[in-house]
Chains A and B, each alone.
Chain A
Amino acid sequence: MTFLTNIANILAKYWQVFLIQGIGYTLLLSLIAVAGGAFFGSLLALAKRSKLKILKAIVTIIVEVVRGTPVLLQLYIGVFVFPMIIPKLSSMPYIYSVSIVLIINSSAYVSEIIRSGIEAVDPGQMEAARSLGLTHTTAMLSIVLPQAVKNILPALGNEFIMVVKETSLASTFFVGELMTAYLKVKGYTYLTMECLAIVGVLYFALTYILSKILKSLERRMKAHA
């Protein structure tokens, strides 16, 4: 019972930290990461399909390194090494470096999603378009990509949900998302389990609602195909 009473007391006192700042920053960071990831990920996917072997090799290395190392480590590098390269970053709040890292991380994953989405489209579609005399670009834009999007969007939705959870690591630098909210409140109250329970329920609610929304979007898209 004390456990529930404690939770109620914490929520009554600190609801803003969890519900407004915590969820707000978690969603903001996730959106930035996935939107930026979608943009730069597309560029990476394009570069990976390019005929320039050097470009292809560089992109492959970036993607593999980013996917092969923990996000936490990347955050440390982003926060402490990026400012050495870009001096302007050192005078800015950590959330900027953290956002950049999350975008880079998500770009690597999204580029793979896009690449496999494009490769999943029957190569016959491209051949048919080329055999009619359409250029590669036109064939890509009007035939392959619209079909690839149907493979890509659901996977992108999953990536978004993954990122929502991964933003928790940004709490190492107290950027304000849900896990930071946990650190702030338990640092004062020393009620660790209670705060964790609150944050856990919120994370679950967030990802559950998001996945429901994505599922219904998916269904609608299928209805139009």
Chain B
Amino acid sequence: MLDINNIYKNFGDLQVLKGVSTHVEKGEVIVIIGVSGSGKSTLLRCMNLLEEPTFGEVWMEGKLMTPPDPYLHFDVIRASKTYQKLVGGGLSDDEAIRKIKDEDLLKEKHPKTEGPTYAALLKKIYDENGIDINLGRQKMGMVFQNFNLFNNKTVLENITLAPIKIGKQRLKDAKKRGEAPDRTPDDVVREANEKAMKLLARIGLQDKANVYPSTLSGGQKQRVAIVRALAMEPDVMLFDEPTSALDPEMVGEVLDLIRDLVKDGMTSVIVTHEMGFAKEVADRVIFMHDGVIAEEGTPDEVFNHPKNPRCKEFLSKVLY
């Protein structure tokens, strides 16, 4: 469902991600753990391109969300002038490709300088596979550490804003194609409101529909933020330390809601420090260290039989 290939992310001179690849299956629950600064949150934010990866590709349901990364496509490398020069200089195909990759020789920012075939190939890959970022993001719900509810909107408006804006746009496009002749924008609004009220009922906050977020408790805010993401009916949910900013007594209600979602089969990627919760819900646990995946496996493998010394050290500090 969600593929990330060889993701690098630099902030200026600081390398935060140094080549991360993983694959998220439909219905799978992945928990990412690791010390602060290990790149877990950055990895999550690269998945829906809130951070644009410096190198690497993100594929959502078979569609490419990032620009194509020339280093990941051998045929593209072979079409480049740099490659031809190296091979002309006597290197074998294998050696040339390795040298280009290791030494970052492609001038990927200026595709024209690598010759027309190279540029055309890159364009072809994107034309065939590329997807509008906004479309891709609509399939991914994101929950933030600091909730990020819209301060200028009521709870209900927070939930319905995106479904209404995007629903109306989709309806307009459909009408242009001659589809959905009977649906009106008012239907979109009505349906969005009905669905939002149902979601609020699910978390028991119907009576808060018309208040502003500033009046809610932290736990309530985060639960609203979760159903706001759910209102877009995403295929995968990304949780970025959803309980880190909460008072301890409110952690439970938020974890309960996530647990419910996961039980209903929601594909999820969760960055968290709640190890007990991770053990309980995860199908797969990823331990990040220094910008790479240092350990990966089932909760039993990672928590009970860690192989990586860094992972052991980390777990010994957080589990007691």
Contacts and interface: CB of A to CB of B under 8 A. Distances in A.
Decide if A and B touch, CB cutoff 8 A. Answer: yes
Interface of A: 122, 124-125, 127-135, 138, 142-143, 146-147, 225
B132 to A, nearest CB: 9
Contacts of A142: 161, 165
B146 A124 contact: yes
A135 B50 contact: no
A34 to B, nearest CB: 24
Contact of B148 (A128, A133, A138): A128
Query: Which secondary structure dominates chain B's binding surface?
Result: mixed
A138 B212 CA distance: 20
A127 B144 contact: yes
Contacts of A130: 50, 134, 137
A124 B148 contact: yes
B151 A132 contact: no
Q: Please classify the interface of chain A as helix (H, G, I), strand (E, B), loop, or mixed, using the class held by over half of its residues.
A: helix
B223 to A, nearest CB: 15
Contacts of B134: 130, 133-135
Contacts, number: 70
Contacts of B153: 143
Interface in B195-239: 212, 225, 228-229, 232
Nearest to B138: A133
Nearest to A142: B161
Interface string B135-165: 1111011101010111111000000011001
A127 B149 CA distance: 10
Contact of B142 (A122, A131, A134, A225): A131
Contacts of B165: 134, 138, 142
B251 to A, nearest CB: 20
Contacts of B137: 130-133
B243 interface: no
7 contacts: A129-B162, A131-B48, A131-B141, A132-B162, A134-B134, A135-B134, A142-B161
B166 interface: yes
Contacts of B146: 122, 124
Contacts of B151: 122, 125, 147, 225
A130 B165 CA distance: 12
A125 to B, nearest CB: 6
Given A127-B144, A225-B212, A133 B152 contact: no
Interface in B27-80: 48, 50
